[in-house]
Structure 1
Amino acid sequence: MAWASQIIKVVIVAVVMDTVFGCIRAIKEREFNSCFGIDGAIRKISMLVSVAFLLILDRIVGLNLIGFIPAAARAYLPANHIGVAEFFALLYIAYEVVSILKNMTLCGLPVKRLWQVIRDGLKKYTSELPDNKDEVAPK
Structure 2
Amino acid sequence: MLNGRKGKGRQKIEMKKMGNESNLQVTFSKRRSGLFKKASEFCTLCGVDVALVIFSPSEKVFSFGHPDIDMVINRYISRVPLQNNSSMQFIEAHCNTTLSDLNAQLTQMNNTLDNEKKRGDELSLLRKATRLSFGGLVQLMG
Whether TM exceeds 0.5 here: the answer is: no
- Which protein is bigger by CA-based radius of gyration? 2
TM-score range, shorter chain: under 0.3
TM-score of the two chains, using structure 1 as the length reference? 0.27
